[in-house]
Amino acid sequence: RVLVGTKVDESHANWVTAYNMLTGIRVSVSRTNAKLDRELTDADFEAKQKSTFDITGNELVPSAKYDFKFKDYAPWVFRRLRALFRLDPADYLMSLTGKYILSELGSPGKSGSFFYFSRDYKYIIKTIHHSEHKFLRKTLRDYYNHVQNNPNTLLSQFYGLHRVKMPYGKKIHFVVMNNLFPPHRDIHTTFDLKGSTIGRDYREDDLGKNPRATLKDLNWLRRQKHLELGIKKKQLFLEQLQKDVVLLKRLQIMDYSLLIGIHDISRGNEENLRDKTLQVFNPGVEKTADDDPPSVIMRTPSKMENVRKARELREKIRAERPVPIGQALDKMPDELGDSHTRPGFVFNQDDGGFRATHENNQPADEIYYLGVIDCLTHYGMIKKIEHFWKGLSHDRSQISALPPEQYGDRFYNFVEGITMSSEEARREILRKEQE
Ligand code: ATP
Ligand code: CA
Ligand code: CA
């Protein structure tokens, strides 16, 4: 794992699209980066820059393998956004286009979007619907201002908005955004929470087949999970979430969710490395059940030692068997080391995430990697119709297509609710009853 997904190579159905996306990004982003920085103007928010790629190339555009057209939207705004999110311009291009390696996440869901991870797992390319694209352009100034005023926003971090078009092909719009989950830590459980209960259940029976499935609201409630944050962290988190939700409500956005990846420190990173690991790291340890191998990386003495051993192990694995499908990274997790921690960002302060804390603010045994995703759905006509039809058959407050104001309130209240321990919740219920 760390490496979900299928490697997109030349035999992959979407190879040409992926190749063109990366070529377009490489050329257009480096073009903007090469210029002297300047203040944004109104026109920057509406700007789009078109390039036509072909096999010969010209003075403006280098030659490419395939013919295609590429559009870069609001390049200066996104350059600024990348700077606000403190990405290093060279690293950004290197991660995405240093080598043309992407991995594709599963098959597209309901929405039909495709997801691709950069080879170092830091960035996600998501194809978006034309309506989402139009909506992001329309609200870009609000988003930009929000990021400027809220450097710790929990909302998806957008680093680029582009379009590719192949001859006779459809226009494909896509965004580049942050991967909330780190390359160097196993995520043991994932939840996608909306604060709704209808249809928000992953069949737990299927977890055996797919242990890394994304769980939903009902799974969270059934497990009596609780987002364990001490007073300080809880306040930071809820205050930021509140501000983000205010923006989402104002922009009439809905259908977004809180994505939470949980790294369990007591389990460590074992599942990356499986049985081979045991032989190399702990020759004396007997192999246990596959589901529960002892944590190896976390227990070895020093980080440098880990890096060295990981490298040896990687060579060993490479020599013995073909690289598994989906092995998009060519570094072992610990070699990537601290490059994923993002100093200065509140919700990335602990090993790239936000460590659980007890009520007394002492650290607990989990690290949360979290953020608000899928926030480009405008409450437009489609949702109104959905609301109408679903409203005929269900309790209106429980369906997911609520008007944005109610959606936002329900979402925030749910998340606030899950930050309470069961004692707190009990006290809160008693308090409400007395009111
Ligand atoms: P739908 O509209 O049907 O919900 P979608 O195609 O718009 O689907 P998203 O809801 O954006 O897709 O994401 C689907 C899943 O992809 C999430 O539940 C999560 O597992 C993963 N994912 C999306 N964005 C990120 C991100 N920024 N970091 C890590 N994982 C992500
Ligand atoms: Ca979604
Ligand atoms: Ca969506």
What's the pLDDT score for residue 312?
A: 55
Measured CA to CA in angstroms, residue 284 lies from 42, 140, 274, 275, 305 at distances of 66, 57, 15, 13, 18
Its sign, for the CA torsion 298, 299, 301, 305, is negative
Contact (CB, 8 A) for 74 and 93: no
Contacts of 339 (CB under 8 A, 6+ apart): none
C-alpha to C-alpha distance for 334 and 296, rounded to whole angstroms: 12
- Return the structure tokens found at 338: 């601290």
Pocket-forming residues, ligand 1, beta carbon under 6 Å: 109-111, 113, 115, 124, 156, 177-181, 190, 192, 214, 259, 373-374
Site to substitute for ligand 1 among 259, 347, 375, 377, most atoms within 8 A of C-beta? 259
Backbone φ, ψ for residue 340 (5° rounding): -90, -20
Place of tokens 């299927």: 206
Q: What is the pLDDT of residue 68?
A: 97
Sequence-ordered alpha helix ranges (H) in 115-267: 130-149, 217-222, 231-250
ipTM above 0.90, yes or no: yes
Mind giving me the DSSP string for 70-137?
A: EEEESHHHHHHHHHHTT--HHHHHHHHHSS--EEE-SS--TT---EEEETTSSEEEEEE-HHHHHHHH
Q: What is the pLDDT of residue 6?
A: 83
Q: Which atom number of ligand 1 is nearest to the Cα of residue 214?
A: 20
CA of 109 to the centre of ligand 2 (A): 9
Instruction: Pick the residue whose CA is nearest to atom 2 on ligand 1.
Output: 111
Please name the residue ranges forming H helices in 267-421.
270-281, 303-320, 333-336, 381-393, 404-418
Query: What residues does 125 pair with on adjacent strands?
Result: 116, 176
At 193 the pLDDT is 98
Q: Whose CA is nearest to atom 23 of ligand 1?
A: 373
User: What number of CA atoms fall less than 13 Å from residue 29's CA on the CB side?
Assistant: 27
Cβ-contact 313, 277 below 8 angstroms: yes
Ligand nearest to the CA of 112: 1
Q: Beta 189-193 vs 257-264: how paired, if at all?
A: antiparallel
Residue 292 sits at φ, ψ, to 5 deg, of -140, 55
Tell me the three-class secondary structure of 257-310, residue by residue: EEEEEEEECCCCCHHHHHHHHHHHHCCCCCCCCCCCCCCCHHHCCCHHHHHHHH
Ligand 2 mean position, distance from CA 324 (Å): 29
Which residue CA neighbors atom 25 of ligand 1 most closely?
A: 179
| 373 alpha carbon – ligand 1 mean position (Å) | 7
Atom 16 of ligand 1 has which residue's CA nearest to it? Answer: 115
Secondary structure letter of residue 189 according to DSSP:
E
Q: Which atom of ligand 1 is nearest to the CA of 112?
A: 6
- Beta pairing class for 171-178 and 189-193: unpaired
Q: What is the pTM of this model?
A: 0.82
> How many CB atoms lie under 10 A from the CB of residue 161?
25
Q: Which ligand approaches the C-alpha of residue 135 most closely?
A: 3
Tell which atom from ligand 1 comes closest to the C-alpha of 192. Answer: 18
Give me the tens of pLDDT residue by residue for the chain, a chain 435 residues long.
Answer: 345 678 888 888 888 999 999 999 999 999 999 999 999 999 999 999 999 999 999 888 999 999 999 999 999 999 999 999 999 999 999 999 988 778 888 766 677 899 999 989 999 999 999 999 999 999 999 999 999 999 999 999 999 999 999 999 999 999 999 999 998 899 999 999 999 988 899 998 888 888 889 999 999 999 989 999 999 999 999 999 999 999 999 999 999 999 999 999 999 886 554 332 222 222 222 233 333 222 222 222 344 444 555 555 545 444 443 333 333 344 444 444 445 567 679 999 999 999 999 988 899 999 999 999 999 999 985 666 677 777 777 665 555 568 899 999 999 999 999 998 777 878 888 888 888
| CA 8 to ligand 3 center in whole angstroms | 23
Listing DSSP states for 2-49 in one string gives ---SEE--TTSTTHHHHHHHHHHHHHHHHHHHTSPP----HHHHH-EE
Q: What separation in angstroms does the CA of 1 have from each of 5, 64, 101, 340, 406?
A: 9, 33, 16, 17, 38
